[in-house]
Chains A and B, each alone.
Chain A
Amino acid sequence: MLKRSLLLSLIVFVSSQTFADDGAVFFGEYIEPLLKQHCYECHSHEAGEASGGLVLDSKAGWTVGGDSGPAIVPREPGKSLLWRAVAYQNDNLQMPPEGKLTAGDLSLLKKWIESGAFDPRTGGQAAQRKTIDIAVGKQWWAFRPMAQQQPRKSQGSLSLLVDDAVRSELAEYQLTLSPPAARNVLIRRVTYDLTGLPPNYFSFGDASYEQIVDQLLASRHFGEKWGRHWLDVARYADSNGSSFNPPFPQAWRYRNWLIDSFNADLPIDRFLQMQIAGDLLPYETQQQRDDSLIATGYLLLGSKVLGTFDKEQLTLDVIDEQLDTIGKSLLGMTLGCARCHDHKFDPIPQRDYYALAGIFSSTVTLDDRLGGPKEDESDWSRRGLGEGGDEQLQEFLSEHRYAWIKATSKRFQAAKKVDETQSSDESEHSKELTAAREELAKADATLAEFRSKLPPYAMAVRDQVRPGDVAIRIRGVAASHGDVVPRGFLQVASFEGQPNVNPSASGRLEFAQWLTAPQNPLTARVFVNRIWKHLFREGLVRSVDNFGTTGEQPSHPQLLDNLATQFIANGWKLKPLVRELVVSQTYRQSVGSPPQSDPENRLLSCQHRRRLDPEEIRDTLLVLSGRLDATSGEGMLDSLPISDVSNLGDYLKIQDNRRTIYQPVIRTLEPDVLQLFDSANNAMVTGARPKTVVAPQALYFLNSSFVQSSAERIAATKFEDTPRDASLSNVVDETFAWIAARPPTDAERRLLVDYLQRQADGPPGLTRHDIMKLCQTILGSTQFQFVE
């Protein structure tokens, strides 16, 4: 009410009098109240708010202006940001946001600006820019150089170093390590941790623990397990997801490359360099060249809003996704926060973001648009493999890209038509079916023709023909250009002698070198901490993707630094590091309840219990029921059209009996087991998976056809010879050991024998159905679902 009467009186006043000659009176009577009423809430010192860096409570406030510069150009409303904002002339900046000012207020403001914007207020100041002091920022632990301190007793052996460090921390709190876990418990733990598969209790033999560890490290399943860890942080998927969801039919090459890399113990510095700049690295063999191209798939796997019509926006969004991924996965930094303004918590100015953005805008991620009716959909960059493959591919794409892509859709539709006709038609030889099959044969032939000209290829990047720097985007708005910043890296993590961007190339090569330089304070720490997390369930820094000031500090800082420097000194080799960690006494401890003095068990006075990953659940069921296909998956999406696949329903349920890591991840349709249990979010860096317990997980163990059929198969194959009059406790012992890799305790045995007796339906004696139920019960139990 007050607002309305005030306005009313102003309008009356204006219309009945000429403008006062005295600008100060005019300002005091009309403009200041108006600013106070409508603007101060977000733009004044009094309110403690300077949205967009702008305050209007002093003359200096608007003459200096905010993030976008001076707010008012006296006498020129058209050039005054403030006027354009209040007149709602700018779609991106409309003030006040809750609704336009009245016509009366607007005309007052306009007249004031037109007449020179006289502002009698003296004193006061523009909004204090919080500037980031890099030198101060470098004091944060994660940016400090790694401190190498030779530990006293544990010369040479990393595992002793670990135990030493953990023990000495524990001792300060009068705590000790827990006793080692029982042998079968430990074997199950280390087998899952290193391969993601269950051990076979009946073939444990008497190999020493160290021998078992070495066997596991040499197994090709090691790469499958540890490759999956990396896929989590690489936000891997086999389709784009989002609003327009084409498949990534070649993404598997990246996935298989990294499995092979882990198995071959490719040095991690090289492993990371290849993913950032593989296409720019020197090579000796074609295989090296191909692998290096494939590795850059890391930059392309993000989920993009391909339908964005504004291509500049799309480009910047793609870069943002890349920087967000690189920041969290490699540097433990939330770079995305510096897109619109200086990072609010970490010493990362907006300049640094755009210095990095220039590197990726100088990189081809999205290819030219496709021709044809879907011309508004952008496409990902492809590189040919093999000798001369890249030239061949580019030639092929420039000539046939659209026709080829259309042929994939045609073939898919033709195959679908055959399916539909078959299922709706009784007779095998109906005219329709024959016609559909002919169509399919034709579509097959057309596609085969294209494929014969198409060399193997990968999702991979290249440098732009004209690399260059980019402008800061004020408030992150694509169209609001600020200063152009030279390409470069994070200032706060800079070090002496670091590489400089070669202006005639994208700068990815130098960025990759900078990332993996021994002096880079972040990369090795972040990586080693991830390894620790997978073996000890929590990182030394628990916020594994965030080493910034909003993350956590390390529980054992010196240990983290020692591990990282040793890791670098040993040539960035993963397997030796994993070996040292799992042979440590700290790893071998039994699980237990943490003491009251350390309720979160940060000091590691016992091992943490962990639940099986969804991949481990599925893979284990395949192994136990004798169904696992141990080969690796390739090209499983070749039957799909290269077009939006979100609506293809059952055609997307491409699953076989290979390990879960090989099952394609369609971003809009995850396999059940991954959706229900805690899998990685397939569109975001997930260094630590969530831990949830929800009822649908229980329903899955009780009622899903996969668990039921697995239990049936275990009963039918593994225990097919069980006589009907077998001793119940023997049967319980055997099935329990088969599934949980240890004999049951007396209490567990009694409970299961009792269950078998109670639930028997038919005549006395064990049936296969009874054993099935027994198996399912054990599978449903926490004894199976957790690793001790």
Chain B
Amino acid sequence: MTNQQPHSLNRREALRSAACGFGGLALAGLTSQASLAAGTHFAPKAKRVVMLFMHGGVSQMDSFDRKPILNREHGKPLPFELPGLIRPDRLGKVFGVKWKWTQHGECGQWVSELFPHTAKIIDKLCLIKSLHTEGEAHGQAVLRLHTGEAAFVRPSMGAWVSYGLGSGNDDLPAYVALDYPTMHGGVRLYGSSFLPAKHQAMPIKLARSANKLPEIQNLSSDLLSATRQREQVEAITGLSRLHATASGGDAQLEGVIESYELAYRMQSIAPEVLDLGRETQETLAMYGVDQEPTDVFARQCLLARRMAEAGVRFIQVATGYHWDHHGNIELNMPTSAAQTDKPVAALIEDLDRRGLLDDTLVVWAGEFGRTPVAQIDRGNPGRDHNPHGYTIWMAGGGVKPGYSHGATDDFGYLAVENKVHMHDLHATILHLLGLDHERLTYRYAGRDFRLTDVYGRVVDEVIA
């Protein structure tokens, strides 16, 4: 019934055999249920996830969900009531779309002119045009996207995946969060909540670090040379080992000793993974590194690929909070798209040419979509929040390429056909990783918890 397990008789051996990974140690008798027994519930299609979080909420009708009626009805009232609405007081008339649309690829998907690079890889993407969620405000919707829940503190999706699958490598964290916001949930967006701490993401800072170089906190010493630090690590572990030996073996003490060894390995390996200078000029250019306006997101996407390559299980990348186009969508949406379109497309291409796309699931998603009507309290109109129907896409990792699932109504407001709830998206992502969302549970405070609470349905239709 509880999480405690008996002390292991041979702790040293237990430690060695446990799926350790960088993030932490599965310690018998110390942290229990540290990780599921190795192995998935069924054969996985994806081994890792890269989640590209479009913070603020991308307008579906200006990106991938073409609704010609909006232009025809521009300036007229919506012909139906807006159910469950946000701020009815600030919603105006139907608001037309400014962009040209063309069909792309063999699948013939419509893509707005704001995403020319994504348009070129459209045959690799699986669009879901009927996602819906709860939460009219950013914070709630962002928390639901990342943790499935807004009102209560719950583990993030990446933490569940780390808990379910363990780390995919020995020297790096299982789960990283790149440039994650401090707002709209902050650490909860990549936290482990009641799951053991080893499942929380290692935050990496890039956008706001010196020279846009990736940074992991406390990764290197300002005071000691590598040799001197090696000596110090040996002294610390040596000293601690005397303690552990004198105490006849104690899993906690052994765990700390092991953590220094892991930390030291990480110190040696991580700088290599973080070093974008190891990429060819061609690759850098393909992502848009050192070009404006793509530089920052290009670096983030490139780093995500390097992490995926190095075996990191779950990589979360945030664009920065710039998709919230309440006003002046005409000017702001092209800017947001231009910052991200090329790097995103490059990431897909790059993963593909390296043979990584097959088992890497890429998820491109905002926390919600936007309204078909204009928001009137701004001089230059934009669109307000809309959790009732919007578009996200996935690629690689076992989803159908060149495919589109579900639809919103004629105006792009409500998901109406083959609706996919946020919980269903989570269930599907876990499924692709070989995890049954109903069986991936953790007992806390007397109850079994899951990412999808009591909801969720795997969307079989999008699975290849």
Chain A residues proximal to chain B, CB less than 8 Å: 91, 97-99, 241-245, 303, 305, 307-309, 317, 320-321, 328, 334, 337, 345, 376, 542-543, 545-546, 548, 550-552, 591-594, 596, 599-600, 609, 611, 644, 646-647, 649, 667-670, 672, 675, 678, 681, 683-684, 690-705, 708, 745, 747-748, 751-752, 755, 758-759, 761, 772-773, 776-778, 780-783, 785-786
- Asked if residues B25 and A599 are in contact (CB atoms below 8 Å), the reply is no
- Asked if residues B137 and A692 are in contact (CB atoms below 8 Å), the reply is no
| Chain B residues within an 8 Å CB radius of A783 | 239-240, 243
Once bound together, how far apart are the Cα atoms of A776 and B224, in whole Å?
Answer: 12
- Asked if residues B263 and A702 are in contact (CB atoms below 8 Å), the reply is yes
- Asked if residues A778 and B197 are in contact (CB atoms below 8 Å), the reply is no
Any chain A CB within 8 A of the CB of B142? yes
Smallest CB-CB A-B distances: 9 pairs: A243-B139, A668-B186, A550-B446, A307-B137, A646-B183, A693-B255, A698-B263, A692-B197, A694-B24
Determine how close the nearest CB of chain B comes to the CB of A472; give it in whole angstroms: 19
Q: Chain B 11-34 against A: per-residue CB contact (8 Å), 1 yes, 0 no?
A: 000000000001111010111000
Once bound together, how far apart are the Cα atoms of A681 and B191, in whole Å?
Answer: 11
Q: List 8 A-B contacts (CB under 8 A).
A: A242-B139, A307-B136, A307-B137, A307-B140, A376-B87, A647-B181, A668-B183, A698-B262
| Chain A residues within an 8 Å CB radius of B238 | 751, 755
- Asked if residues A702 and B233 are in contact (CB atoms below 8 Å), the reply is yes
Chain B residues proximal to chain A, CB less than 8 Å: 1-2, 4, 6-7, 9, 22-25, 27, 29-31, 83-84, 86-87, 135-140, 142-143, 150-151, 153, 181-188, 193-194, 196-198, 202, 217-224, 228-229, 231-236, 238-240, 242-244, 246-250, 252-253, 255-260, 262-264, 266-267, 418-419, 445-447, 455, 457
Once bound together, how far apart are the Cα atoms of A739 and B228, in whole Å?
Answer: 22
Pick the contact of A600 from B7, B236, B243, B267 — CB < 8 Å?
A: B7
Determine how close the nearest CB of chain B comes to the CB of A234; give it in whole angstroms: 15
- Asked if residues A693 and B252 are in contact (CB atoms below 8 Å), the reply is yes
- Asked if residues B221 and A782 are in contact (CB atoms below 8 Å), the reply is no
Once bound together, how far apart are the Cα atoms of A592 and B229, in whole Å?
Answer: 32
Pick the contact of A309 from B136, B151, B256, B257 — CB < 8 Å?
A: B136
- Asked if residues B30 and A693 are in contact (CB atoms below 8 Å), the reply is yes
Determine how close the nearest CB of chain B comes to the CB of A86; give it in whole angstroms: 15
Sample of 7 more A-B contacts, CB < 8 Å, known A780-B236, A782-B253: A242-B185, A305-B150, A593-B250, A647-B181, A668-B183, A697-B259, A781-B236
| Chain A residues within an 8 Å CB radius of B447 | 334, 337, 550
Once bound together, how far apart are the Cα atoms of A702 and B259, in whole Å?
Answer: 11
Known: A647-B183, A751-B235. A690 touches B31 (CB 8 A): yes
Once bound together, how far apart are the Cα atoms of A428 and B27, in whole Å?
Answer: 57
Q: How many A-B residue pairs have CB under 8 A?
A: 247
Once bound together, how far apart are the Cα atoms of A649 and B208, in whole Å?
Answer: 11
Determine how close the nearest CB of chain A comes to the CB of B354; give it in whole angstroms: 28
Determine how close the nearest CB of chain A comes to the CB of B407; give it in whole angstroms: 13
Determine how close the nearest CB of chain B comes to the CB of A286; give it in whole angstroms: 38
Determine how close the nearest CB of chain B comes to the CB of A7; give it in whole angstroms: 18
Pick the contact of B86 from A309, A694, A703, A704 — CB < 8 Å?
A: A309
- Asked if residues A552 and B2 are in contact (CB atoms below 8 Å), the reply is yes
Known: A305-B150, A695-B22. A703 touches B220 (CB 8 A): yes
- Asked if residues A681 and B153 are in contact (CB atoms below 8 Å), the reply is yes
| Chain B residues within an 8 Å CB radius of A772 | 223
- Asked if residues A678 and B197 are in contact (CB atoms below 8 Å), the reply is yes
Once bound together, how far apart are the Cα atoms of A551 and B219, in whole Å?
Answer: 40
- Asked if residues B222 and A777 are in contact (CB atoms below 8 Å), the reply is no
Pick the contact of A695 from B242, B243, B266 — CB < 8 Å?
A: B266
Looking at A548, A649, A697, A700, the one whose CB has the most chain B CB atoms below 10 A away is A697
- Asked if residues B31 and A692 are in contact (CB atoms below 8 Å), the reply is yes
- Asked if residues A683 and B150 are in contact (CB atoms below 8 Å), the reply is no
- Asked if residues A593 and B259 are in contact (CB atoms below 8 Å), the reply is no
A667's closest neighbor in chain B, by CB? B186
Known: A550-B1, A782-B244. A241 touches B186 (CB 8 A): yes
Determine how close the nearest CB of chain A comes to the CB of B429; give it in whole angstroms: 17
| Chain B residues within an 8 Å CB radius of A245 | 183, 186
- Asked if residues A759 and B445 are in contact (CB atoms below 8 Å), the reply is no
Once bound together, how far apart are the Cα atoms of A245 and B187, in whole Å?
Answer: 13
Pick the contact of B30 from A99, A691, A761, A778 — CB < 8 Å?
A: A691
Known: A243-B150, A694-B197, A702-B233. A599 touches B22 (CB 8 A): no
